[in-house]
Amino acid sequence: MLLPSERAAGFFRGIALVALVLAAAGCARGITSTPGDAPNLEKWTAEVKARPAPPLDPLPVMQQFETFEYSAYALRDPFSTAFTDTDNGSGPRPDRQRRKQTLEQFPLDSLDMVGTLGRGAGTIALVMAPDKVTYRVRPGNYLGQSDGRVTGVFEDRIELVELVPDGAGGWLERPATVALEDQ
């Protein structure tokens, strides 16, 4: 004798089997086609191809621009440096004939003053470069990449004057310092 739960399980299995058979039969029926279906499809395709194409949008009207003739060829070139050099060599200028010193290959902010030797007018500064070499610096030496000439060495700083372009073909002197590095 079957228990009620076993009867219910058998009942649901039967319903699932019937549903599976019906679904398979429905799918098989949809796949099969009759010989009369193909001519209908071909007829419909031919009708669609025979329809006239929709008209194209008209081309946009091209806007006419006024022509402009450039006639300023005879005037001076605004990008030429010939007219910016108005001071004719007066004022400070970098000495291009001077041989560059070792510390001029480094930017000024990458140099560190690490100490001094001596006292008074004979004070020599010790400067460490990014290559981790310590150099001796006296007044008259050059530091940095802007032609910075050392004007004074003190126990806590090095004072120098750099030459920077003024934007109009000349040069300006700009004071700068390298301070003693705090330990």
Supply the mean pLDDT for the chain.
83
- 159 pLDDT higher than 90: yes
Residue 33 has pLDDT above 60, yes or no: no
* Share of residues in the chain with pLDDT > 90 (%): 37
Length of the chain equals 183
Query: Distance (Å, rounded) from C-alpha 12 to C-alpha 57?
Result: 63
Domains of the chain: 102-179 (2.30.30.830)
Task: State the Cα–Cα distance between residues 62 and 151, nearest whole angstrom.
Answer: 69
**pLDDT class of 174 with cuts at 50, 70, 90:** very high
- Chain CA centroid to CA 100, Å: 34
The pTM assigned to this predicted structure is: 0.50
Q: pLDDT digits over 61-91, tens only?
A: 988 888 888 888 888 877 776 555 455 556 7
Per-residue DSSP letters for the chain? ---HHHHHHHHHHHHHHHHHHHHHHHHHHHH---TTHHHHHHHHHHHHHHSPPPPPPPPPPPPP--------TTSPPTT-STTT--STT-S----TTSPPPGGGGS-GGG-EEEEEESSGGG-EEEEE-TTS-EEEE-TT-EETTTTEEEEEE-SSEEEEEEEEE-SSS-EEEEEEEEEBPP-
- What does the pLDDT average to over 119-133? 89
Tens digits of residue pLDDT in 83-123: 554 555 567 888 888 899 999 999 999 999 999 998 877 88
